[in-house]
Structure 1
Amino acid sequence: MLSKRERKALGIGKDEGRAVLKYARISSRKVKIVIDLIKNKNLEEAYGILRFTPKAASSILLKLMKSAEANAVTNNGLDKEDLYVAEAYATQGPTLKRIMPRAQGRANRINKRTSHITVVLKEKE
């Protein structure tokens, strides 16, 4: 028998499957466009949308949703058929600052933006 602290550390007894990707090398603006397409959709419908959306963020979100599904089914014993995308959000991560040389000894800055992406799957009541 596991103690309450051990159960909480393992995530047993939660009613959700969560997956987080930090420092993804894509702007959070680009990710939010695709996230809006899959919010509040059931799992299979969200997978279909992501497979056929020609955006860079869709492959990242597809992998993240599979991870969240595995966490929900394996760790928390939820039913795969009843899962839906309850929450999905992308926040801005640190920006990598790079320099592009320009004419006459000048330089322009290039901002390579990163994001932190979170997907939460829950069971329908």
Structure 2
Amino acid sequence: MAKKAEKTIAGQAREFRAEARFQRVSPQKAKLVLDMIKGLRVETALTTMMFSKKRIAPIVEKALRSAVHNASYLSEEQGFDLDVDNLYVKMAVANEGPRLKRIRPAPMGRAFRYQRRLAHIIVTVAEKHTTPKVDGTDATASATAGTKPAAKKAAAAKKAPAKKAPAKKAVAAK
């Protein structure tokens, strides 16, 4: 596992990443597993990887655990407050590594070439910021709570009663 430092930009959340390079799986197969954990909380993602039957799942789990340990280590090292319970998988990608060229024997003394694909797996975690609660409710919920009843009354007052469609005239038979 290659360990990478956290990415810091002023005003944005910190990101922590870990890489598992030169894994003997095609990137296409690894992406199927990585798509299952994108955007999930770390705890849920680890549980998903534990119960996955794919061969690459333990390697992805190891990379995810490494990213979480990188986050906790750097938070202690640099002295900033990090809640490990609020971490989520921000990015999980599988890039293509070098290909191993191999030869398979073919009939009549010939040989067929094929390639074994390798993948570089990168997992990035970040801390999900929650909005501060005011009196047991979210700040956004309390701000919009005062405007919703007034908006409903205004919409009801503007609505005109529905008109009946005119009845079709009967055609006279000759």
TM-score range, shorter chain: 0.7 to 0.9
Show the counterpart of 2:48. 49
Residues of 2 paired with 1:34 and 1:56: CA distance?
Answer: 10
Q: When the two structures are superposed, what TM-score results if normalisation uses the length of structure 1?
A: 0.86
Show the counterpart of 1:3. none
CA RMSD of aligned residues (A): 1.7
CA contact (8 A) 1:98 1:109 kept: yes
CA contact (8 A) 2:6 2:17 kept: no
Residues of 2 paired with 1:93 and 1:56: CA distance?
Answer: 18
Show the counterpart of 1:108. 112
| Cα distance change of structure 1 residues 121 and 108 upon mapping to structure 2, 3 Å threshold | same
Q: Once superposed, which parts of structure 1, at least 4 consecutive aligned residues long, lie more than 2 Å away?
A: 10-14
Show the counterpart of 2:128. 124
- Which one has more relative contact order, counting CA pairs under 8 Å at least 6 apart? 1
Q: What does 1:1-125 correspond to in 2, within 5 Å?
A: 11=5, 14=8, 15-77=14-76, 78-125=82-129
SS in 1 for 2:21: strand
Question: Which amino acid in 2 is paired with 1:98?
Answer: R
**Alignment size in residue pairs:** 116
SS in 2 for 1:75: helix
| Cα distance change of structure 1 residues 38 and 112 upon mapping to structure 2, 3 Å threshold | same
SS in 1 for 2:122: strand
Q: When the two structures are superposed, what TM-score results if normalisation uses the length of structure 2?
A: 0.63
Q: Deviations over 1:23-80 (max 9, x none)?
A: 1111000000011100000011000100011001111100000100100111134321
| Higher-Rg member (1/2) | 2
